């Protein structure tokens, strides 16, 4: 990797500017203007520390700030990389399938089904679907990709009695919403979604190829039919480093 544009620089130890901040500015110039490949990690902390003759904590502080500001991302076991442009999504505004949205953006969507089973729902799923706890529901777990990169892990609950045909479908290649409409004969009207920020647990980090503790956009959704009854309860965990969401608000 060509690192002359980074390692050709030095810190000015005669000025009252903290070393970490000077290093941060040097790194920012390097990753913005000179780093050759987003798929190649930047130099390791130990190499940066040795070249600039500063401590590892100083290097880590400079890198941490660039991670927080969205310039860099750490990948477990691989190193620190220049952040790729985030995928801007209208998921919070439109009732549209993940596949359709990715395709419109020129990305190649794909899905891996991690689990499909019939279970007795807990109280939270029952409340969301307006059915008693212990009722039979279909639990679908999927990992969804854009250009072979994992983007979101989704757990979906559906009332068993109204969505039984789903059990016989290949949900790696067929749209859930299309099946609900065309096979189950259901008319979808709207979805209510709640967004919060959480940190990745070990399991989600493994699936999404991110570090444990990395930021995740956690979206709870309930989809309703035209008669007002809920038909889908989903819990989606999006990679914070690869996703951003657009809100469009009217002015009254």
Domain boundaries, the chain: 4-82, 87-245
**What tokens does 189 get?**
């009207």
Non-local (6+) Cβ contacts of 250 within 8 A are none
Rounded CA separation 79/252 (Å): 48
Q: What does each of the 252 residues of the chain score in pLDDT, given as a tens digit?
A: 345 556 677 888 888 888 888 898 889 888 888 876 778 888 889 989 988 889 999 999 999 888 877 788 888 788 888 877 665 554 444 545 666 666 766 778 889 999 999 999 999 999 999 999 999 999 999 999 988 889 899 999 999 999 999 999 999 999 899 999 999 999 999 888 888 888 888 999 899 988 888 888 899 999 999 999 999 999 999 987 777 666 555 566
CATH architecture of the region 4-82? Orthogonal Bundle (1.10)
**What are the tokens at 19?**
């070393």
Is domain 87-245 given the CATH code 3.40.1410.10 in the classification?
yes
Residues 6+ apart with CB under 8 A from 121: 129, 131, 133, 134, 135, 136, 137, 157
Give the DSSP per-residue string, 183-195: TS---EEEEEEEE
What does the pLDDT read at residue 237?
92
Q: Is the Cβ–Cβ distance between 250 and 93 less than 8 Å?
A: no
């Amino acid at each position: 990797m060509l690192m002359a544009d980074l390692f050709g620089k030095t810190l000015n130890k005669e000025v009252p500017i903290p070393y970490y901040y000077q290093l941060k500015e040097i790194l920012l110039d390097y990753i913005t203007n000179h780093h050759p490949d987003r798929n190649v990690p930047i130099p390791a902390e130990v190499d940066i520390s040795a070249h600039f003759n500063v401590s590892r904590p100083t290097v880590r502080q400079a890198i941490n700030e660039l991670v927080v500001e969205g310039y860099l991302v750490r990948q477990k076991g691989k190193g620190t990389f220049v952040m790729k442009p985030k995928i801007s999504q209208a998921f919070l505004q439109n009732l549209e399938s993940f596949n359709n949205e990715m395709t419109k953006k020129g990305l190649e969507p794909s899905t891996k089904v991690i689990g499909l089973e019939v279970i007795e729902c807990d109280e939270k799923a029952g409340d969301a679907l307006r059915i008693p706890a212990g009722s039979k529901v279909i639990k679908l777990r999927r990992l969804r990709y854009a250009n072979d990169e994992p983007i979101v892990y989704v757990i979906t609950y559906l009332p068993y009695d109204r969505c039984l045909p789903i059990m016989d479908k290949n949900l790696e290649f067929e749209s859930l919403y299309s099946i609900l409409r065309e096979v189950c004969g259901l008319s979808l009207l709207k979805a209510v979604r709640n967004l919060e920020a959480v940190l990745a647990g070990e399991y989600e980090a493994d699936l999404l190829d991110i570090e444990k503790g990395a930021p995740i956009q956690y979206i709870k959704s309930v989809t309703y039919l035209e008669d007002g009854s809920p038909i889908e309860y989903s819990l989606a965990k999006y990679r914070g480093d690869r996703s951003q969401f657009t809100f469009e608000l009217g002015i009254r």
